[in-house]
Amino acid sequence: MGHCGRPAVTRFLVVLTDVRPVDDVRRDERQAPERRRQVVGASSREAADRIAGAFMALGMVRAGRQRVKVIAVGRRYGL
């Protein structure tokens, strides 16, 4: 249970990004994130996984030029 006895609900973002070229510099998503092509919000993990699956069917993702990320963001409390 979360704040005030209500269950905590995590939201999700599904992010489609360009894959950076490999170079000698260590990757740091906080300092230099990959370029975002599309960002979609989802209210459940199941919905986020379905959206991610649709993105993974794209030719650019299958070719390795783009990648799909599912990110849990914050917590909000259900009513």
pLDDT digits (tens, 9 = 90+) for 9-61: 689 999 999 998 777 567 777 888 889 999 999 999 999 999 999 999 999 99
Q: Where are the beta strands (DSSP E) in the chain?
A: 8-18, 36-42, 66-77
- Computed from CA positions of residues 25, 30, 35, 36, in that sequence, does the dihedral angle turn out positive or negative? positive
| Residues 6+ away with beta carbon under 8 Å from 8 | 1, 2, 75, 76, 77, 78
More confident residue, 16 or 2: 16
Indicate the pTM of the whole model.
0.75
